[in-house]
Structure 1
Amino acid sequence: MERQPAGGGEYDAFISYSHTWDKELAKAFQSRLQAFDRPWYRSRSLRLFRDETNLAASPHLWNEIERGLAGSRWLVLMASPPAAASPWVRKEIRWWLTHRSADTVLIAWTDGTLVWDDSRTSFDWSRTDALPQEEMARAFDQEPRWVDLRWLRRPEQADGADPRMVECIAEFAAPLKGRSKDELIGDHVRQHRRTLRVVRATVAVLTVLLLAAVAGGVTAYTQRNTARARTLVAQSRQLVAEASSIRDAQPDLARQLLVQAYRLAPTAEAAGALVESRTLPRVVHGRGTVRTAAYSSRGLLAVADDGVRLFDATGTVRTTLDESDSSVATVAFGPDGLLLAIAGAEGEVRLLDVSAPDRPRTLAVLSTGVPDPQRMLFTPGGRLLVLAYKSGALLDVQDPARPGLLGPLPGAVVGAGPTGSPLLTSEGAQIRLWTLSESGRPAPAAVIPDPSGGARHPEHRAAFSANGRILAVGGADNRVRLWDVTDPARPAARAELYTQGRAGIDTLALSRDGTTLATGGRDGEIGLWDVSDPLRPRAGARLTGHTDAVRGLDFSPDGYALASVGGDGAARKYSVDAADSTVRVWPVSGTDRSSAATTLPTRGAFPPSFSRDSRLLAAGGEPTTVWRTDDGAPPSRPAATLETFNNGGQAAAFAPDGRTVYSGLPVVAWDMTDPAAPRRLTEQVTRRQSAVGVAVNPVHPLVATSANERGGSQLWNVRDSSRPVPVGPLTGAGPDQHTLSFSPDGALLAGLSEEGTVRLWQVSPNTPPAVAGSLATAGGKGTAVAFGPRGRTLLVGDDTGAVTVWDVSLPGRPVRKGSSARHTGAVRGLAVHPDGALAASAGNDGRIRLWDVADPDRLVEIASLTGGGLHPAAGLAFSPDGRLLAVGGDGGTRLWSVDRAAILRRLCAESPRITREQWDQYLPDHPYDPPCA
């Protein structure tokens, strides 16, 4: 066939190569050749055919290759010994030399030997092995131009910026494009620079757009998170409000909502609600109908339903009695709390030894002949009264193992004094007092006017005080009349109470100290009354959790818990289901609800002081007492009592070493290494004044004391605890100030001046204190001070009720920060939590308030603590481990738990997990995820 000039036009060149030797090199060569002199807006400058990039799967491979050859203007032959031996390469060469001119063949020498023999006008085939001799022997009539690519053995060497690569590629591009090599290289450089400029400009534009997009995305993300945070805060506050609205009716659910509220967002409202969560009553659900609940003098609570369960002060069941016996009617504890009486519906009484609550032991069983007893009462003289609505019996239980029946009691006994005498009976509209002789014979003593005002069907309820002097009688008309029955023959009316119930009074109870009366209404409401003055009783808190009649009430021995029985105790008798058969245990103190964890029986409003490890608490007063606070259980008695030398008591404070307590004026040191046996370190001194305030320096061996006289404030060097030495008076300090506070670095002491300003003294162990600065409150005179745990942040309370934060880093130029005036009277006590973010204040208005002071410029009140009564002159202290807040006042030292993690664990332990239905009701926008799972 006659050779044809280069035809086609679909491809600029066909690349022929050996797959076994030049496959990767051919790929790199193609890429660089197509990119040579390429404008930035085009994908390639030349169209090249290479089998791997241009051929698809086909059953007729050679036909496809032949089509590629036919459509190409040039043949680029990658010459190497493997290519010379390749049948495919040889076939492609034969086709090309048959159909095209040898002048359109470009040789890329990649390996082997190429030698041209001018004498023969052909290659020296004796030495040339890179080309097939048979096909190429007569292809050229003069020496062809080939490009040596033997140096390019690895594809990564095909760098487009390498001058050698540019030269080699230009050798091939020039004939393919029909231009000179120099011109092509120049254009290639210009195109490359132009491409770089375009790329840089594009990158710059894209960078700007990216930054704008990122900024927009960050803004949107921030806005989304802010909106989400605000939503969570709103939902958290809503849950706190919901929990407050159901705290009495559904206390278990309220606990779960509080945990979830804090989980959503730890708002000030949620944090305050956690601290106040102890006001929620504990619910004991009845196993059937609950008939009664009674406290022992040791704090055990007995609940009678379809059996009897004994609970300790933590609400833990210690034992369960008569699980299969559903005839329990009522229960009662003996005076010492070691004997338990259980009365059955038919009048049989079982006496048990409960000295070991986990292992009660039956002592005796006796039949009384009193059907369906409503109440039992032990007397100190070893008697047991079994009372029913229309009958009663008196038992001799001096020897519980051999009890005896003494005789019957007058019918319809509605109350009995603590010794069993007097008795109160009700027959129609007539109420009669009876006395019991030593032999147990009742004798009429007096008739009391009917408090129901002549109601047609009066139903009377009664309660006697622990000393037997005060009698409270109530009935269906919602009135309670107080009587002085010191002389049962001459009862004297004292006062009348009018409850707010709608259906009459069903039960009454007086606290052991006789100062608080609880009334239980048939509408489920409980009222607390202060009857410490029977002539002028005062109404207290209203407890409204029960949904049915309150059938029983009993105060705990210490008066800080009230057990109430809800539901109709007669429901089982008449085969009706009680609507509310539960026992609720209400934390109370006097006539108020209480959120305090416990109350220690101390005297005086001196600031409490914790040891460094928070295991001991010193409560100043008369006397000064030291209490253990590390065993988890509320302390019931002091670990030690320190000697008091002055009337009115004395303040006391722990030293930083955690084992030394300083008290009194002059200063006396006590070694508390063994809390049960405090050892006096200071030599005998003569007491002249009473120390109302004691502060111990956290760094230096210094103690500051304040007396209730002018000029009585003093600084002491206590390096030798056996002989405290006066360093000097606190010049200008006012008298009778309970609060003195050292800065955390020990260099400053803050106190109150005679003029009512806050004074700062520079202190050291060997030089008298020197006035370093003072600050005047904006509203009035300063009344309390407390340094924060870090830096020199000082909290100041004044007589207008304001709490203000000051920065006293420069004592001579104090800077006023945030302030809030929530108290309605002077602030008398201040304390700052060890984390520096929480503070507590006590005011003349009797309120204990908690503050979020994390932002010194903005004080946020998070709670007003309820502890039973008011604290107009309270001293405050946080424990160093941050668990407790101690508040000392005339009514005792109250301890609050402020450890949020511990409170959350307690709330979860005290309540069942929130149900899916409850979750959907209060959190419909959140997937079900119980907080206490």
Structure 2
Amino acid sequence: MQEQSLITTREEFGQALTRLRESAGVSVRQVAAKVGADIAPSTLGDWFAGRGLPSLSSRDLLVEVLRVCGVSDDAAVEQWLNAWHRVRRAPGRRPAGPEPYRGLAAFETEHAEWFFGREALTAQLVAGLTEPGLRLVVGASGSGKSSLLRAGVVPALGRSAAVFTPGPHPMAALARQRGEVLIVDQFEEVFTVCEDQDERTRFVAALSEAAERAVVVAGLRADFYGQAMRHPELLAAMRSGQLVVGPMREEELRAAVVEPARKAGIEIENGLVELLLREVAPARADGEAHEAGTLPLVSHALYAMWRESQGRRLTIADYRKVGGIGTAVADSAEKVYLGLSEHRQELARRLFLTLVHVASDTAATRRSMTLAEVLADHDPAVAAEAEDVLDRFVAERLITVDLDKVQISHEALLTAWPRLAGWLESDRAGLVVGRDLAEAAARWAQEGHDPGALYRGSRLAVARLWAEGAGPHAAPGPQARKFLAASVERQEAEAAAQRRGTRRLRRLVAVLAALLLLTTAAVVVAVRGQRAIIDQRNTALSALSGKVANESVALRAGNPALAAQLALAAQRLRPSTESRGAVLSTPANPYANVLNAHAGAVYAVNYSPDGSRLATVALDGTLRMWDVSDPLRPAALSSVAGDAKGLAAAAFAPRGELVATAGNDNTADLWDVRDPRHPVVLATMGGHSMGIIGVAFSPDGTMLATASYDATTLLWNVTNPRKPYLLSTLKGAPKGLSDVAFSPDGRTLAVTAFSNDVMLWDIADSRHPERLPDLRGHTKAVLAAAFHGDTLATGGFDNTVRLWDLRDPRHGRHLATFSGHENGVVAIDFSPDGRSLATGSYDRTIRLWDLTDLHADPIVMTGHSNTVYTVRYSPSGRVLASGGRDDTVRVWDLGRPVLGGHRGTVYTLAYSPDGRLLATGSHPVIKIWDVSGDPRPLATLTGHANGVTAVAFARGGTLLASADLDSSIRLWDLTDPVRPRLLSETAAGIGNIFAAAISPDGRSLVVAGEQFDVYVWDISDPGHPVRRAVAKGHEDAVNAVAFSPDGRLLATGGGDRTIRLWRTADLAPLGVAGGHGGTVYFLAFDRTGTLLASGSGDRTARLWNVRSLDRPIAVLRGHADSVQSVAFSRDGRTLATASDDRTAMLWDLADPARATPLATLTGHLGQVNKAAFSPDGTTLATVSGDSTARLWPVDPGAAARRICALAFPPITPAEWHQYLPDVPYDPPCPADAATGRAPAG
């Protein structure tokens, strides 16, 4: 074994380096002279003496020192560098002997001898790697994929293997690899840190090509499965070559704990392993030893215990000392963080946020960066300090340095360390803006400061708002500041030119007025001048309209009412693409009116039973009553002081005559609110020794429960609210309480505490409550509880929501766990009909969960700028009130412009011919919606085993066809859409199906997909479809099929970038169109059948005359990513396009050869996969990767009427003049808009 492999301390490193120097016969000064770098001999002396270590940025200098000292072999240099990294990771006190555990770091190939517990999975994977092909290894974050591939598979292969991660430039990374087996670890980086879609597509294609002659393995995080499905090359691997890395079984996890210790000669105290297994055991009993994602926490706890034990014996005391599974990671990170100065704490925050990739539609992921990239946005004077901060986290294995790469050791840290999770959740949207800004600035610099790369319009408005409010922790770096300043300077120069034009307009108008008195000849000259002036005026107005519209988009989440009215003002000022987009997008996004009356965090909102009043309480100590007879326009009734220390809880009595409030002065008050303008305190109840956090009335109104931080719940008789008295005191909680809820029958009380369990009490005898068995399953403190019938919902600091069946409260049963929130769930409420559940979180979001499908993704509603502490449905269920740490109350319209309840990406949609029904297809279900009025779900069709990629109606909407990625075709009878009936299921045997269409006569179904051919099925008898014909000609997967309105023509398009036209009767080829620079994803005919639209991966849509396919009539450019769908309006005058850039666009086709953009529709949080106009042309429906469908009005006038019915309060003169300083105050919505009068403009 080489000497450097035994080095563990900086002293040993210095001694070994000195022996190397002496054997080369050179002095320290000679080394410094030969290296030739700007480094003092004293610094080198510290290295050789073991007083200091080379910094991360001194890596190349260290290599030069090694070369001068006689190390010429690259392998030997690598061993020295490994020793250097090892010492940097573990400075100071360190147990003797080898390291048996890896902490958050993955096992590498050289750690194979310490890798236990995955022997069976390794053997299973290796056995399938005998032939060329692409294999996917899929698992949740923290399941151990990287360690399996690196320390399990590579050593077991017995042949050369190259392991790499894609990084931002995967093609370059691939080109560097050599080996009989290619292993792509962290394949999801293709979708996160790689920003170039073209390179992403080429990389996937290159891997697929390599898999034809070699074994290729890709490790993929499960939550990026949907994005991978969008690449046809990966679909085959998903179907046949996929290995799922699930949680370990008990015997496997035991081996992973015990065997490394045994190999290292370390004793484990009796009972420690059982304790560890018990603490990570999931609530369900299915043989799995832990929940997905907890392995990194286990590994870090073991590493921390080993460090604490000094390598002799692992004990239960060590386990407790490092914080156990739940907090060991957080404790290690906090220890480093709190040991930093305030200035360096700020540096730590910026460093960690730099090392995280944040997107608005996917979970945060770590980024692998060079040290230079990490330090790029730090001034040189600060960079050395930042490097030292990195070193401290490296020492605890929280950050990993691999040669010149720096990254967070594991994504588990992003959620396990509450401080980091808080940094991420406190401004997730801002982090996305900041990251995009930094990358745009870097591109601008690389392109020689090209003015065309600067921000403008809405992107500049959003970036400026973020930069102004970012604060020192997240402020843009020097390069980004220069980019932003240049963008602002350019836009202001353009605006100044426009203002000069406006001033010229005023002067010229005055001249024109005088000229009108002159001769006819002079009048002719004046008219010509007037036309020029009008053109200048219109240009200035268009610029101002676009600016105001972009500002309205930036304000949409924080101040929806103001944003909506600014959009209308912009549209009235001068209709533009931006203003139409802002107006049409408003009704299609979650909408809330904002109440800013409180001066502190709002902790509780509660509706009266009849829904006419709303009570709110806050940290400012006030109880406020609101008239909500107009649900979205609350009117203040009263504000009364309740608790100078702040109120934390409020509840209406069942009859609505009383409100109970409680707070930080340890008391609860009963208020008479029969006259809500003058609430009166009837009684004050003491008894608690600490603040009260929860209050609840029993269903019959005779009892009140108060829950306190003092770990007790008090039950009060409030039959006489003027003289309440104590019935009983419920004790036994290990920590302070967080919430309390009565069951609807009043016999059971649920109490949550800052512990992991939910306490249940039988209170049938309220003077002698009986403690029932606790509900166990949450892994961190439980924060909120709510009942509906026999179902209890709870939310906790483990970021989950759990449902419990309490039909038998003595034997409560876990029903489901909902994951999705990125921080603790602190608020929870059932809808009145029990079909939905609303939750609020420290992640600043509200989520609406569909309880009719427990696997569906929630609808996410953003707007609060801080923690959402309370949510409450109105009795009608059409409105939701929320309150939070941003001191606001929000009243949300649940009129459902956003259709949720889907499972993952929604791929496809179709309207029934009469427009009454909408079908949406996701993975692996189809939802049927009644969209004749306010949208409502009618049925969920199940049975498909994979993503549903196509749906199509026929026969007046009574027949629905669906196709999926498992080559399955299903036909459904929708005569009764509430009770759909499966007519037939056909295994087509043609691979993944990407597209399907039914002929206008309803007799033929065309499907196409990965097998290059187009298949026609006779569905005259939908119970027995028969394959009738096959069209061949495409040279790649077929992604698009469309019938002409008369059914005589069939158009197809695909991965070979061509569009092909066929005669339907005999599938005779009629023509081929080329020209697209990417896959053709969608085709659509207009109503005449002569115009064909195509959407492509080259970011364009094109219009074609089917009589001549030589060249397109028009190329529509405007999207920033692939165009996935195109759709004509019924009258053919408008085209809709949907794109991976998360937008849909409307185009004016009055003259198809000069198609112009009408509006860009924004709001989706993921790629927009398909768009379709309703048959009456009034609505555009879209579906997206954000798990939702949305309905957009197409007529700006209709959208304006909807906005004015919602927007409250009206825009003020001050707000108007802030955004429209040179325009006279003229609110776009009249004061009586709610009465139905049309808005101005």
TM tier, shorter chain? 0.5 to 0.7
1:850 aligns with 1145
Q: Distance in 2 between matches of 1:820 and 1:736?
A: 25
In 1, distance between residues paired with 2:1191 and 2:998? 24
Q: Distance in 1 between matches of 2:1035 and 2:725?
A: 67
2:842 equivalent among 519, 522, 526:
519
SS of match in other structure, 2:956: coil
Work out the CA distance in 1 between the residues paired with 2:1057 and 2:611.
Answer: 47
Deviations along 1:418-446, one digit per CA (max 9) or x if unpaired, are: 89777435xxxxx9989566646699999
Q: 1:661 maps to which residue?
A: 960
Q: Secondary structure at the match of 1:755?
A: coil
Aligned to 1:386, what secondary structure does the other structure show?
A: strand
Contact 1:760 1:811 in 2 (8 A): no
* 1:408 positional shift: 4.1
The corresponding residue for 1:798 is 1096
Cα displacement string for residues 374-406 of structure 1 (whole angstroms, at most 9, x for unaligned residues)? 4346999x9985334557525599x9x999944
**What corresponds to 2:1181 in structure 1?**
886
Q: Is the 8 A contact 2:920 2:1189 kept in 1?
A: no
Structure-2 separation of matches of 1:347 and 1:223: 72
State how far apart, in whole Å, the 2-side matches of 1:348 and 1:814 are: 77
Check if 1:830 corresponds to 2:1140.
Answer: no
1 CA distance for matches of 2:801 and 2:943?
41
1:565 aligns with 2:863: no
Cα distance in 2 for residues equivalent to 1:313 and 1:744: 46
Q: Of residues 533, 554, 558 in structure 1, which corresponds to 2:871?
A: 554
Pairwise CA distance, 1:229 = 1.9
Looking at structure 2, the residues matched to 258 and 463 of structure 1 have their Cα atoms a distance apart, in angstroms, of: 38
Match for residue 104 of structure 2? none
Secondary structure, aligned partner of 2:900: strand
Q: Post-superposition shift, 1:851?
A: 4.2
Aligned letter for 1:407?
Answer: T
Kindly report which structure 2 residues correspond to 1:37-186, keeping only aligned pairs within 5 A, or say none. Answer: none
User: What pairs up with 1:602-641 in 2 under 5 angstroms?
Assistant: 605-620=906-921, 622-631=924-933, 633-635=934-936, 637-638=937-938, 640-641=939-940
* Aligned CA-pair RMSD: 6.1
Deviation string, structure 1 residues 849-905 (Cα, Å, up to 9, x no partner): 32435365556484363334x247x33322222343333456644123233223211
* Residue 273 of structure 1 pairs with residue 582 of structure 2: yes
Is 1:231 matched with 2:579? no
For 1:729, the equivalent position in structure 2 comes to 1030
Change (3 A) 1:599 1:253: same
| Structure 1 runs not aligned, ≥5 long | 1-208, 353-363, 426-430, 452-459, 474-480, 487-494, 500-504, 521-525, 531-539, 568-579, 589-593
Give the alignment partner of residue 729 of structure 2, picking from 385, 407, 416.
407
Q: Which residues in structure 2 correspond to 1:15-414 (within 5 Å)?
A: 215-247=524-556, 250-278=559-587, 279=589, 282-285=592-595, 292-293=604-605, 303-304=615-616, 306=623, 315=632, 330-331=649-650, 342-345=659-662, 347=668, 373-376=692-695, 386-390=706-710, 392-395=712-715, 405-409=727-731, 413=736
How many Å apart are 1:498 and its aligned residue? 12
Cα drift, residue 259 of structure 1: 0.8
| 1:584 matched residue in structure 2 | 890
Q: 1:727 to 1:620 in 2, by over 3 A?
A: same
Over 3 Å counting, the alpha-carbon distance change for 1:858 and 1:472 in structure 2 is: same
Q: CA deviation at 1:847?
A: 2.2
Q: If each structure's helix is expressed as a fraction of its own residues, which one has the higher value?
A: 2
Residue number in structure 2 paired with 1:472: 797
Please say if residues 388 and 412 of structure 1, whose CA atoms lie closer than 8 Å, have aligned partners that are also in contact.
no
CA deviation vs aligned residue, 1:482-505 (integer Å, no higher than 9, x gap): 999x9xxxxxxxx9x999xxxxx9
- Counterpart secondary structure, 2:1205: helix
Q: Do the aligned partners of 1:561 and 1:585 also contact (CA within 8 Å) in 2?
A: yes
- Contact kept in structure 2, 1:606 and 1:692, CA below 8 Å: no
- Please give the secondary structure, in 2, of the residue aligned with 1:866: coil
1:732 partner letter: G
- Where in structure 2 are there 5+ consecutive unaligned residues? 1-517, 618-622, 674-681, 742-747, 763-768, 805-818, 831-835, 849-858, 1231-1241
Secondary structure in 2 matching 1:252: helix
**Quick check: 1:932 aligned with 2:1229?**
yes
Partner of 1:740: helix, strand, or coil?
A: strand
CA contact (8 A) 1:666 1:687 kept: yes
Taking a change above 3 Å as real, the CA distance of residues 612 and 735 of structure 1, as seen in their structure-2 partners, is: farther
Query: 2-side partners of 1:716 and 1:301: how far apart?
Result: 59
**Any idea what the Cα deviations from partners look like across 1:601-625, whole Å, max 9, x if unmatched?**
3676442111233211122454433
Q: Name the structure 2 match of 1:536.
A: none
CA contact (8 A) 1:608 1:618 kept: yes
Q: Distance in 2 between matches of 1:896 and 1:866?
A: 11
- Distance of aligned partners of 1:222 and 1:272 in 2 relative to their CA distance in 1, 3 Å threshold: same
Query: How many angstroms apart in 2 are the aligned matches of 1:251 and 1:584?
Result: 10
Q: 1:652 Cα shift?
A: 2.8
The Cα shift of 1:807 comes to: 1.7
The aligned counterpart of 2:53 is none
Contact 2:693 2:739 in 1 (8 A): no
Q: Does structure 2 conserve the Cα–Cα contact (< 8 Å) formed by 1:705 and 1:713? A: yes
Aligned in 2, Cα 1:875/1:280: closer, same or farther, shift over 3 Å?
Answer: closer
CA contact (8 A) 1:463 1:472 kept: no
Identical aligned residues as a percent: 25
Q: Match of 2:908, SS?
A: coil
Tell me how far apart the structure 1 counterparts of residues 630 and 1182 of structure 2 sit (CA, whole Å).
Answer: 22
Give the letter aligned to residue 415 of structure 1: S
Answer whether contact 2:1123 2:1138 (CA < 8 A) is retained.
Answer: yes
Q: Deviations over 1:63-117 (max 9, x none)?
A: xxxxxxxxxxxxxxxxxxxxxxxxxxxxxxxxxxxxxxxxxxxxxxxxxxxxxxx
Would you say the 8 A contact 2:584–2:1193 is kept in 1? yes
Amino acid at match of 2:1173: F
Instruction: Choose from 983, 992, 995 the match for 1:693.
Output: 995
Q: How has the CA–CA distance of structure 1 residues 243 and 829 changed in structure 2, closer, same or farther, with 3 Å as cutoff?
A: closer
Q: Within 1, Cα distance between the matches of 2:955 and 2:616?
A: 51
Distance 2:712 2:1032 in 1: 73
Go from structure 1 to structure 2 and tell me whether the alpha carbon gap of 1:581 and 1:888 turns closer, same or farther (over 3 Å shift). closer
Is the contact between residue 916 and residue 928 of structure 1 (CA under 8 Å) also seen in structure 2? yes
Q: Confirm or deny that 1:779 pairs with 2:1077.
A: yes
Q: Which amino acid aligns with 2:1126?
A: L
Counterpart in the other structure of 1:143: none
Tell me if 1:908 matches 2:1204. Answer: yes
Return the alpha-carbon distance in structure 2 between the equivalents of residues 866 and 895 of structure 1. 9
TM-score normalised by L of structure 2: 0.42
User: Residue 374 and residue 737 in structure 1: after superposition, are their counterparts in 2 closer, same or farther (change >3 A)?
Assistant: farther
Q: CA deviation at 1:251?
A: 3.4
Deviation at 1:583, TM superposition (A): 0.6
Q: Verify the 8 A CA contact 1:332 1:340 in the aligned structure 2.
A: no
- Distance (whole Å) between structure 2 residues aligned to residue 443 and residue 648 of structure 1: 41
Paired residues in the alignment total 627
The letter of the residue matching 1:552 is Y
CA distance in 1, matches of 2:862, 2:972: 46
CA deviation after TM superposition for structure 1 residue 810, in Å: 1.7
The equivalent of 1:176 in structure 2 is none
| Equivalent residues of 2:1038, 2:1055 under 8 A apart | no
Contact 1:417 1:468 survives alignment (8 Å): no
Partner of 1:71: none
Please identify the structure whose Cα radius of gyration is greater: 1
How far off is 1:736 after superposition?
Answer: 6.7
Deviation, structure 1 residue 794: 2.9
Instruction: For 1:379 and 1:839, locate their aligned partners in 2 and report how far apart those are by CA, in whole Å.
Output: 57
Measure the CA separation in 2 of the matches of 1:913 and 1:313: 15
1:347 partner amino acid: A
Secondary structure in 1 matching 2:1229: coil
For residues 550 and 645 of structure 1, what CA distance do their matches in structure 2 show?
39
